[in-house]
A = this chain, B = another copy of it.
Amino acid sequence: MSDHSASSTIVTAAMLAIGDELLSGRTKDKNIGHLADMLTLSAIDLKEVRIVADEEEAIVEALNALRARYDYVFTSGGIGPTHDDITADSVSKAFGVECIYDSEAMTLLGEMYKRREMEFTPARQRMARMPEGAKHIANPVSTAPGFIIGNVYVMAGVPQVFQAMVDNVLPTLRSGAKMLSRAVSCPYGEGDIGTLLADIQKAHPETSIGSYPRFDGKKFSTEIVVRGRDAEAMDAAAEAVSEMIAGLDRKGISANPTADA
């Protein structure tokens, strides 16, 4: 009986990564590892991951298998404006509902393109498609929303957008305690900080430290993001990152001398 109450606190999840480019090797997935980190910090058990191609039958079958079995399913990819972005249609089919141009999404996107004096083309309008009745997942990076239907969370494949959507979604999940984050801007490329950052991660196991390379056409820099559920632990890790950067500054390592990919 006490076992029952214990087991009822276990929340399970699966991820479905969608995209031909992941299976051809052209794109190396970065979202699976990130979601795994975030779910672990949220005390949600990621139990299974599948990667399938941009093929309706494959998406529908995998999604129906996973959503029946786990508390939550998170998808990545296939919600952009091009012809091979068929995730919204496939998810609608899996749920047996119509895929519509969501009016709220049409407004959001229409206003964004108007503000930027760009045409809201039929291709761009595809990004407003979602299953009828779905709820939005806000996209603070590039506006086009993800969506939620049933226990399925449909998110973008571009890592920056995927991560922002995950940040928005996690606090709403059962047993998903609020995830805090602090970003530290770093003038050094990943090749200069990789080993040091790995040591910091090891010393701060309650946090998840991500590094995101930036390239301005000439040189690499890095945005380092520390995430965690405990504010003190997160601040301590962010502080260690800042000290690492100050240490490199003192050593006189010239920022960005080379191209670390």
Contact = CB atoms under 8 A, between A and B. Distances in A.
B40 A48 contact: no
Given A48-B50, A123-B191, A143-B261, A40 B24 contact: yes
A39 B79 CA distance: 26
A203 to B, nearest CB: 12
A5 interface: no
A190 B121 contact: no
Contact of A52 (B37, B48, B124): B48
B195 A122 contact: yes
Interface stretch (A92-100, A166-174, A206-214): A206-214
27 contacts: A23-B45, A23-B46, A23-B47, A24-B40, A25-B33, A25-B34, A25-B38, A25-B39, A25-B46, A25-B208, A32-B51, A48-B58, A48-B62, A79-B261, A80-B190, A80-B194, A82-B193, A83-B201, A83-B209, A84-B211, A121-B191, A141-B259, A141-B261, A144-B260, A157-B213, A212-B217, A214-B217
A47 B156 CA distance: 21
Contact of A36 (B24, B158, B260): B24
Interface residues of A, number: 86
Contacts of A259: 141-143
A257 interface: yes
Contact of A158 (B22, B160, B208, B213): B213
Given A23-B46, A48-B50, A50-B51, 4 more contacts: A48-B53, A80-B190, A123-B191, A144-B260
B82 A198 contact: yes
Interface of A: 20-29, 32-40, 45-54, 58, 62, 79-84, 112-113, 116, 118, 121-124, 126-127, 139, 141-144, 156-158, 160-161, 181, 190-195, 197-198, 201, 208-217, 220, 223, 225, 227, 257-261
